[in-house]
Chain A
Amino acid sequence: MDALIVTQAINVVYAVSTLAVLTLGLAVIFGLLGVLNIAHGEFVMIGAYCAYLTQSWNWPYLVALPLTLALCALLGAAVERIMIRPLYRRPFDTLVATWGLSLLLRKIAEAIFGPGFHSVTIPLPGTVQFLGIEYPIYRVVLIAVSFAVAAVLMIWYGRSRTGSRIRAMVSNPELAQAQGISVRRLAAATFIAGTCLAGLGGVMVAPLVPVQPFMGLDYVLRAFFVLVVGGLGSVPGLLSGAAAIGGVDSAISAASNATDGYFAVLVLAILFLWLKPRGLIARG
């Protein structure tokens, strides 16, 4: 009985940390640039297909990281230049444009890889013993990496010069421009960072899920819920949103069943949209 409770508790931690990492990309693009990137999930998918390619070419798994970063940066730069730049501050138009982009990316993946499932072998198979229970090693590593990525990003955003420039751009673009910050270039870099983070999330989850053209749909909705609950534009907001959505879902799924867990997530998201639309931690 104890082992059951401990394992379920770790499941909650796992759900929260992976959800946070899978939301990072959207948090950057939506939270800082105000672009509701519906194609977020498709960048996750691109990361997962990069992991699949790396493995089918018999390269070490970590090669997937530079491959994904390069591909997502290239694609992110092109999308920002062609599609997003003319549409900044037109939230509904960016929503429709990125929705179209998501369809296009999905169809391209289908044209290259076919509509079927692909499987990526777990790079660290097996389980590890701790706290009197057995847990899959890869998931433990994933929890650690997720926390590390979030922590590094939080410190970097709070302390670095680029971080303070981004904050200046977000709070008042005209004033930032007048101060000599190239808002256009900074916005492009921020967008590219968002797509790269989404791709990174894809590389991380690829060994756990079926890799297929539709997989992105699973991530964009949950990521959006996290931002609705947590609030836009801060790392603590993102983490509290992930804790609320991922935690509630996982805890209720563990205590009762998955249907109740999903129901609770939907209720939570609706309540926040209705009663607290700025989320738990609104941008200061």
Chain B
Amino acid sequence: MVSMRQGPNRRTFLGAAAAGAAFGALPGLARRAAAANREFKIGLFIPLSGPASLFGPTDRACAELAAEEINKSGGILGRSIKLIPTDAGGPPAETAKSAVRLMLEENVDLFIGSHDSATREALVATVKGKIPYIYTPVYEGGECAFNVYCLGETPNQQAHPSIGWLAAERKAKTYYLIGDDYVWPRKTNAETKKYIAANGGKTIGEEYVPYGAPNKFEEVVTRIKSAKPDVVVSTLVGADNVNFNRTFAGFGLDKNIARLAFLLEENTLLGIGADNSRNLYSCMGYFANVPSPANTKFKAAYHAKLGPKAPQLSTIGVDCYAGVNCAHALVAKAGGTNGKKCMAASEGLTFKTAAGPATMRGRQVDKTMFLADCKGTQFEVIKTFANVPSGSACKT
């Protein structure tokens, strides 16, 4: 029985195998042939839904401006950039699912992300360094996963110089920390407390409100009032930061207590409003009104592209401009997206940002930091700290 059936069976099998091989090979060949001149696809994770989506339009516009400029001068390794904006405003697990889809269906070459740290951790665990992942916004520092590159401000760049300044210039001794309850505020505050202690200060309160809940701040502000700190350090985000600062000033605490916030950019300050921004400080790597030649040139290009109704520029948005430029420089220097080669190429890599050229060390970026005093709804830079190191050095 076995021998009788062997002949036709084997022939059928061989035929099927050959056909299968041909079918399998054809698209593969086609794919490889097209690879030389196909687009360089970048999955751009930005908040398009949810409360953080107010950053989305600027993120996208800045990334598109950079892609346009690079494409005009020949693209990445001769391939023109195609950005695929993808929502990162939902739960981290949803964003991770989108990352899998982008890798399998779109064959993206690289990821750029501007979203919270909880989403970054989910993406790092999903992407596993298979393609380079550039994380652009302000964050807690110390992200050293394989093939991940971070561009944002770290606690060493925000807290270190600003706490030092408050201690020296405002004679601040006691500090009260308030933040949203997730990884960025908690890790940032852990670092901040070290700098407070190093400057001879004392942390007299530290508390967190649930992230994403409809928070109100009367109780927190009343507690702060009775604790009488010299400085309140806020790692609240977005609407929570606005709500807190409005309540704080509403209770009249803005007269005597200074506030230092680590995610206070142009949009948030507009929400806080001119009546509530007395004695309020922000320390970031970019403010839209800094009159440096690089920023003036960048803003001219931005407004030429987007016209008078351009979305409000802030550090979060321009970091996406830096992200695309970093991708360009990184892949060009490494000659591709191979993880090990990119890691090696990242050391000492220089690339264009809205604030001028930046240099990557230990897969982080040293930055010139600005300490700004809020005057109404405008930032007035009162102190510039040049080339502040990121404080984290990852293996390359």
Contacts and interface: CB of A to CB of B under 8 A. Distances in A.
A60 interface: no
B338 interface: no
A8 B54 contact: no
A11 B53 contact: no
Interface stretch (B37-45, B153-161, B267-275, B286-294): B267-275
A33 to B, nearest CB: 25
Contacts of B312: 116
Contacts of A139: 218, 250
Interface stretch (A89-97, A157-165, A254-262): A254-262
Interface residues of B, number: 42
Interface string A211-223: 1101101110110
B267 A117 contact: yes
A267 to B, nearest CB: 13
A171 interface: no
B225 interface: yes
Nearest to B217: A258
Interface stretch (B141-149, B203-211, B325-333): B203-211
Interface in A133-166: 134-136, 138-139
Given A116-B54, A117-B268, A259-B181, A134 B252 contact: yes
Nearest to A138: B250
B214 A8 contact: no
Contacts of B242: 117, 119, 209-210
Contacts of A126: 252
Interface size grouping (class) on chain A: 35 or more
A248 interface: no
A212 B51 CA distance: 9
Nearest to A114: B311
A258 B250 contact: no
B276 to A, nearest CB: 8
B215 A116 contact: no
A203 interface: no
Chain B contact surface mostly: helix
Contacts of B272: 119
Nearest to B56: A115
A54 interface: no
Contact of A221 (B210, B214, B268): B214
A3 B181 CA distance: 28
Contacts of B252: 126-127, 134, 136
B223 interface: yes
Contacts of B247: 208
B223 A209 contact: no
A195 B56 CA distance: 31
A118 B207 contact: no
A15 interface: yes
Contacts of B51: 212, 214, 217
B224 to A, nearest CB: 11
A121 B275 contact: yes
Contacts of B181: 259
A114 B309 CA distance: 10
A115 B219 contact: no
B21 to A, nearest CB: 50
Shortest Cβ-Cβ A-B pairs, 7 listed:
A117-B271, A119-B273, A218-B214, A210-B271, A210-B242, A258-B209, A253-B219
Given A211-B271, A258-B213, 6 more contacts: A14-B218, A118-B271, A209-B239, A210-B242, A221-B214, A254-B222
Interface of A: 1, 3-4, 7-8, 11, 14-15, 114-122, 125-127, 134-136, 138-139, 208-212, 214-215, 217-219, 221-222, 250, 253-254, 257-259, 261-263
